[in-house]
Chains A and B, each alone.
Chain A
Amino acid sequence: MNVSPLESQVLASESEAAPAPRVPRVKISKLTKRYERRGVLRSIDLELYPGERVALLGANGAGKTTLLRILATLSRPTSGTVSIAGHLTHKAAQAVRAQVGVVAHQPYLYEDLTAEENLRFFARMYSVADERSRIDEILFMVGLIARRGDRVGTFSRGMQQRLAIGRAILHKPALLLLDEPDSGLDREGARALERILGYQRTTEGTVLMTTHDLRFGLSAADRVLLLENGKIVLDAPAPTLDEDELDERLSRR
């Protein structure tokens, strides 16, 4: 096909103007998880994009933690596939783990090591470059620089939670999974969490968080998912949702 210089100029400018296709950071296809005969997650399809902050809501037992554990490669799906940053969890779990940071109900810290020793241990396990300055940066970010030499066992629940958040972002994960990150947080911790959510956005990191605090979920996230009986029944932008309506829907379960 012959293309005139004018046509080729138009085509070139069109191709420049066309937005690049959005590549999902997380792609979940037909994900099912059963414990014995009980279906916890039922054929979930979901895509999460870079820079997105997504709140995953649902009543107790809806399957929120199970979904997060599968994304973290701590649990294996019964069927379906999960891909994170282009790596399939069942084929390249190690590569997936390098891209994921997790804050769970338990802090995943060693109580008999100091805050700094904990971060050093995980920095080495994650092969973090420039370990010393990154540890300083994290301790500063979570407001624990003055307590770096103290054993984690002497920390309050809020301080442990702050350090757990610091541990989760130590290796600059592409996907941050937060399982009720606001529970047990002190005021300083809430500020640290806000800073970290902001930091994830500036670095195009994806955040998926579960919470029981609707107000926190709606204000911190830009997209809300509602999980009911192992299925996603609502997927909407956070600003379009009414807190009272959502609260009523959740308490009906």
Chain B
Amino acid sequence: MRDGLGKISIIVWKDLLTEIRTKELLGGMFIFAVLTIITFNFAFDMTGTGKAASGAGAMWVAFNFAGFLGLGRSISLERDKGSFDGLLLCPVDRGTIFLGKFIGNLLFITLVEVISVPIFAALFDLDVFQPLLILALFLGTLGFAAVGTLLAVMAASTRSREVLLPVLMFPILLPVVIASVRATTLILTRQTNDLSAWLNLLGAYDVLFLAISYAVFDRVVEE
């Protein structure tokens, strides 16, 4: 157990160090997220009562699309340079490698969210600094990163990976996208009566897909 955690932290350290030096992922993801938020801010009518609903939608569109961009790049860079095979040769459980890559991706998407949310709050004039909203954001991002890491590895070994990744992810991610947007809308409009159902759905989805991704990763990476 301790050894597994040690190996996961080494993989995360390696991904963070690489990103600090190259800035290949975070820069692109952040610009994409902020650009989407600004575009939606000018497209929607901000005076009506639908501000919170459209804001929640804009926020998740920005984060999900930035996530697609980051996930695809993070795995394909490693696949193209052959270093992913080097990782697979290491005498560790392949599930451990999945968890290392998953935590790295989760950190990158979370970092983009941490920087973009204050910009979103300022532009949409919404109170986003609520513990429940942070929980909804975390649960939505967790599910996205779990499924995304697995599917990005699958798509990275194909020629049309840029197209394939969103196509593969969309149907599987649909429950988490709907639940995230609904939960965020309810929190922003302060209607918390149905909220627990959506948060429970997000939590159940995360546990289920994290477990499935961990279990099948070995099969996905082997020829």
A-side residues, CB < 8 A to B, are: 69, 72-76, 94-95, 97-98, 100, 102, 104-113, 117, 121-122, 124-127, 151, 167
Contacts and interface: CB of A to CB of B under 8 A. Distances in A.
Interface of B: 3, 6-7, 10, 14, 17-18, 21-22, 81-83, 85-93, 222-223
If over half of A's interface residues share one DSSP class (helix, strand or loop), that class is named, otherwise mixed; here it is loop
A121 B14 contact: yes
Nearest to B218: A93
Contacts of B7: 124-125
A121 B11 CA distance: 8
Contacts of A117: 17
A179 to B, nearest CB: 11
B89 A72 contact: yes
Contacts of A126: 90-91
Contacts of A74: 85, 88-89, 222-223
Contacts of A113: 14, 17-18
Given A74-B223, A113-B17, A106 B91 contact: no
A72 B10 CA distance: 22
Given A75-B222, A108-B89, A112-B22, 5 more contacts: A97-B90, A109-B86, A121-B10, A124-B7, A125-B91
Indicate the member of B6, B83, B87 with the most A CB atoms within 10 Å: B83
B82 A104 contact: yes
A97 to B, nearest CB: 4
B223 A75 contact: yes
Contacts of A94: 91-93
A72 B223 CA distance: 12
Contact of B89 (A100, A107, A111): A100
A113 B3 CA distance: 23
